[in-house]
Every structure is written in structure tokens, then in C-alpha cells.
A and B are shown apart, each in its own frame.
Chain A
Amino acid sequence: MAEGTSVLARLVGHPATLEAAFALIGALLWGYAVQIACDCRRARRMLAAAYWFTLGLLFGFGAWLPHWVAGLLVVGLVAVEAAGGVRTQATPAQAIPAPSGEISAPGWRALWPVLTIPTVTFVLAGLTALAGGEVGRGAVVGLALGGLVAVGVALVVGRFSWPTALAAGRQLTEDIGPLHLLPQLLASLGLLFTAAGVGTLLADGVQRIVPPGSLPGAAVAYFLGMTLFTALVGNSFAAFSVITTGIGVPLVVAPFGLDPALVAILGLTAGSCGTLCTPMAANFNLLPVGLYGLPDNYAVIRWQWRVAAVLWPSHLIVLGLFWLCR
């Protein structure tokens, strides 16, 4: 028993497991590409097929391609997007939705595949944790496995055929469209900004403005720096090391003798306030727009910035309360 679970932990942690999942995504995207290429009713179908084929290539063989070739392929994908090759509006044939016709007797069985995904995710994450592996990794592999098992469940329960499964996935994937690329694109933009020294520039500028010896001033500078730089790079983790070593430690932690753990975690969540307000955090703020079918690109951000605006000053209050109760 104990041996079996440790095998599981090793299996989940093995890099080949994730590569296999990526290869599956690649195969799925190639399936979409073939379906699109065969759909004669579509305008510009070859451009769209080439788009999904290239994305599949990046997923399936990304680890073996030289980085600059992968970069060149990404530039090509963005060029197709700029040319309007992947807009679903360009495909009037898609306007006839299949779903309503296929619901003969709506029942609870529609819930099965949908509940399978989180169940498998949790079970695998839990088992991985018990086996001494990394929970997060277990959840990631579980999500991939859950998607596969759920397709199997749906195929059996709904008596669908393989091409229907492919078409259902393709429709959702195309609804989200070029937004799929954005999180990865923005991750590299964050790297470029950091490599170009945008963060240190920001930190230097702030250091010059803040009056020395004022805790409120220093705290505002640190939290504001975190929020702004996070909004720029879309990720509070990327902003954290730059702004904390540039502003947080020299201006807030070192001179005032505050608990470094408190200052640091508040800095990180001040960054999260920035994440709530920026389209740069594409997988959180723009992906749902496509996924939920919202009419406005910034619908989620429009909703979140108000909460962020209240949450941000409460960081100062929490810091102040701890300072007073010291």
C-alpha cells in the first residue's frame, strides 16, 4: 500500500506526466484544426485551421523546439489574430448552435461530467498529498485527468460520438479564441519589462519621492508600488521581489522594526489588489470574458476594481493596527 502511493507521488511529480498532458492538448487542437479545415461553410477556414494547428504544435512539441522557433511561431499566431483569422464572427456557420436541438430529456445526468472534473482533481490532489507529493502538482495533473475522464463519462452517459465531443470542445475553445494565448504572452511581457529594468526604475523613482522617517509615507509607497507594478506585469509574484527589495525592505522593514512577515504578506496582497484591476492578468480577468460569454472585455475588471479600491486602504489600517498594538 505504502509503496503503491509513493509510486503515485513519483508518477504525478514526473515531468513526463505533464508533457503527456500537453501532447494530448496538442492532439486535441490538431483535431479542431482538421474539423475547421473540413468545414466548407466557413470563411477563411484555412487561416483558422493553421492557427489551431500551430498552437497544437507549440503545445505538443514546445519542449523540443528551440526557444526562438517557439517565439517565432507565437509571433505568427499573433499575426493571424491581427489579420482577423480566428474571430468567430468571421464564421457565420457557427451561429446555428447545436445544443438546444439535442436536449430531448434534460436530466441530472448532465451534471455527471461536470462534477467528475473537480472530483478527480480533488481525489488525485488528496492522494498525492497523502503519498508525500506536492498538492498543487496533484491538482494540476488531476485537472488534466479529470477532463479526460469527464469526456469518457459524457460520451457514455449522453451516447455522444467522438466527433461530437471534438465539436463541443472546439466550439467552446473558439468562443474564447485568441484569449487562450494571452496569459502566456503576458508572462513573457512581464519578463521583458523586468529584464528592461522597468521595476527598478519605478522603485528608484518612489524612493526619491518618499520623505524619510515617515511610516505612513513609506507604507503607502510600498503598497502603491506593489499595486502599480503588479498591474503592469499582471502578476504579484513577479512584482514582489523587485518592489520588496527596492522599497519594502529599505523603506518599511529596516527603519521601523515592524515584523517583516506582516509587511511582506501585506505587500503581496496589495499586489493582488492590482491583479484585480488589470487586463494584464489575462487568465483571471479576460479569460472569463470569453469563457462565460460576457459582452464587454472589461466586465470582470469593472466589477473587481471597486472591491480592490476598498481593500487597498485596509492594508494601511491593518499595518497601523499592528503598529499600535506592538
Chain B
Amino acid sequence: METWLGWPVWKLLGVGVLVVGLARRWPTGPVVLSAGGLTAWLAGMPLVGHQTQPGMLDTLGKAFVENRVITLYLLTLPAVGLAERMGLHTTMGRLMGRLTGVSLARLLIGFQMARVAMGALGLRLQGHVTFGRPIVAPMATAVLPSPAGEGAAKAAVAAAENYGNFFGQNLFPASAGCLLVAGVMKGAGYPVDVVRLALYAIPIVAVSLGVAAVQFVWLERQLGQRPDETADHATAPQDTRHG
């Protein structure tokens, strides 16, 4: 009985709860919390910890408070909301109407390259909030031939931000990623140079730019090729480009 309960694979039950819950699209917060609670319980963690052992609530509260910086973007939302009330989307539409030769694919590729360049300079910021929602997403929807593809175009903007951010940041030798890798490798007895790490990151950055470019061009073709078909499903008929 004891050995059966001590079987280490039981710890994976929390992972199972998480996978099933997210796959069934149950509300994410409760799913994550119950997965965490189950894992903590199976690992023998107390609810409230003491000096020798951290508890489940302590870990939760500590992680939440220490990671507040992730949610710092809340301070920028009033400004973005006000800009939208001033007609940001219409303005972006007019801007894109004036810029000839800017297609959806070029916009997305350019955005990703800009984020890679920023990463190489060591600037890490919540690009979804600073650029994605207020600047690039309105530009992307403005160049669409019909509003039917808006969701896909916005999702592609989010993807371009992530591709550029994830892979670009490794090009900066003093980035959190490179420093972490150097620290772990030193601890394992294989000290590495952070500049070398940044140089070895180049091939994957190049591949990510190429693969993403193919995807963006494909999306542009998809959205551009059948404007008549998709126009029927359009909910908001006005096209901001001509507005």
C-alpha cells in the first residue's frame, strides 16, 4: 500500500487535470488552481507553510506578487483606450491607404524584424500592448480587402510579435535567457561565454524569420484571393481604407 501510494507517477495527475481542463475549455483560472492544488497535495505540501517547508498558499501568493511586473501593462490601457476613442482605427486606415506597397505580409514581416532588432538591443517589453493592439493590429486590418479576415490577421500580428520576441531576445548577450543559460551551464561544469551563446542563436532566428515569412505570405494570399466569397460573411461592411 505504501509503495503503491509512493509511486512517483501520481505527481503527474495535476498535469492530467491541466491538460484535460484546458482541452475541454473549462474556465482557465479554476483549472490552473485545481491542477496546482492537486500537485501540491500529492507532493505532500501543507496549505500554509512553516519555516522548513513552503506551503501551497505561500507559493501561490509569492509567485503572484513577484510576477506583478508581467501585468505592468495595465498602466498603459487607459491611454490606449482614449486613443481608440479619438478614432485611432480610422486614422490607421487612412495612413495605410496612403502608404502604397504595404501589404499584409510585408507589414507582418517588418513587425517581426523590428521586434528581433529590439531584442538584439536588449529591449524586452510587452509588445502586444505597446505595438500590437494599438499600432500594428489596426494597420493589419486596414490593408485587408474585406473585414472577414480580421480575426486571422490579428492572430497573425500576435504571432509575429511572439516569434520576434522569443527568438530575437537571445541575440542580446546580456539578455535574461543568455545569462540563465550561462549560469546553468557553469553550474553543470561547462562554463560558456554569453557572446558565443548570442552568436549561436543566429541560425534559429534566421529560420524563424524565413518560416514565418512563408506563413504570412500564405495568409495574405488566402485573405486576398476570395474577397467575394468572404464578403457574404462580413458582419461590419464598411472598409476603413476607403472611409
* A260-318 with Cβ < 8 A to chain B: 260-262, 264-266, 268-269, 272, 275-276, 279-280, 282-288, 291-297, 299-300, 302-304, 306-307, 310-311, 314-315, 318
A294 to chain B, nearest CB (A): 6
* A117 within 8 Å of B (CB atoms): yes
* Contact stretch, chosen from A4-12, A40-48, A195-203, A211-219: A195-203
Q: Which residue of B lies closest to A160 (CB)?
A: B82
Q: Which residue of B lies closest to A59 (CB)?
A: B68
Q: Mark A234-269, 1 if CB is under 8 A from B, else 0.
A: 001100110011000100010000011110111011
Q: Mark B59-90, 1 if CB is under 8 A from A, else 0.
A: 11111111111111111111111111111101
A238 to chain B, nearest CB (A): 10
* B137-172 with Cβ < 8 A to chain A: 137, 151-152, 154-159, 161-163, 165-167, 170
Q: Which residue of A lies closest to B34 (CB)?
A: A78
Q: Give Cα distance in the complex from A316 to B208, angstroms.
A: 14
By size class, the interface of chain A is 35 or more
* B189-205 with Cβ < 8 A to chain A: 189-190, 192-193, 196-197, 200-201, 203-204
- Chain A residues lying within 8 Å of B84, measured Cβ to Cβ, are 99, 110, 168
Q: Give Cα distance in the complex from A154 to B88, angstroms.
A: 12
* B45 within 8 Å of A (CB atoms): yes
- Chain B residues lying within 8 Å of A209, measured Cβ to Cβ, are none
B20 to chain A, nearest CB (A): 13
Q: Which residue of B lies closest to A310 (CB)?
A: B211
Q: Which residue of A lies closest to B43 (CB)?
A: A196
Q: Mark A120-146, 1 if CB is under 8 A from B, else 0.
A: 011001000100000110011011101
* A323 within 8 Å of B (CB atoms): no
| A121 and B85 contacting across the interface, CB-CB below 8 Å | no
* A150 within 8 Å of B (CB atoms): yes
Q: Which residue of A lies closest to B172 (CB)?
A: A135
* A232 within 8 Å of B (CB atoms): yes
Q: Give Cα distance in the complex from A315 to B204, angstroms.
A: 7
| B132 and A291 contacting across the interface, CB-CB below 8 Å | yes
* B30 within 8 Å of A (CB atoms): yes
| B159 and A68 contacting across the interface, CB-CB below 8 Å | no
* B234 within 8 Å of A (CB atoms): no
* B6 within 8 Å of A (CB atoms): no
- Chain A residues lying within 8 Å of B94, measured Cβ to Cβ, are 106
- Chain B residues lying within 8 Å of A25, measured Cβ to Cβ, are 68, 71-72, 74-75
| A168 and B81 contacting across the interface, CB-CB below 8 Å | yes
- Chain A residues lying within 8 Å of B90, measured Cβ to Cβ, are 103, 106, 110
From A125, A181, A261, A275, give the contact of B197 (CB < 8 A). A261
| A147 and B167 contacting across the interface, CB-CB below 8 Å | no
- Chain B residues lying within 8 Å of A302, measured Cβ to Cβ, are 155
Q: Give Cα distance in the complex from A303 to B74, angstroms.
A: 26
B142 to chain A, nearest CB (A): 13
| B79 and A117 contacting across the interface, CB-CB below 8 Å | yes
B114 to chain A, nearest CB (A): 11
Chain B contacts to A: CB under 8 angstroms: 8-9, 11-12, 14-15, 18, 22, 25, 27-30, 32-33, 35-36, 39-40, 42-43, 45, 48-49, 54-88, 90-91, 94, 121-126, 128-135, 137, 151-152, 154-159, 161-163, 165-167, 170, 174-178, 180-181, 184-185, 187-190, 192-193, 196-197, 200-201, 203-204, 207-208, 211-212, 215
Which 3 A-B residue pairs are closest in the complex by CB-CB distance? A168-B81, A70-B61, A169-B78
Q: What would be 29 A-B contacts, judged by CB atoms less than 8 Å apart?
A: A18-B69, A25-B71, A70-B61, A71-B64, A81-B30, A82-B29, A150-B79, A151-B79, A169-B77, A173-B74, A184-B64, A189-B32, A189-B36, A192-B40, A196-B40, A196-B45, A201-B11, A232-B15, A240-B180, A253-B190, A266-B200, A268-B181, A285-B158, A288-B128, A288-B161, A291-B129, A291-B132, A303-B155, A307-B159
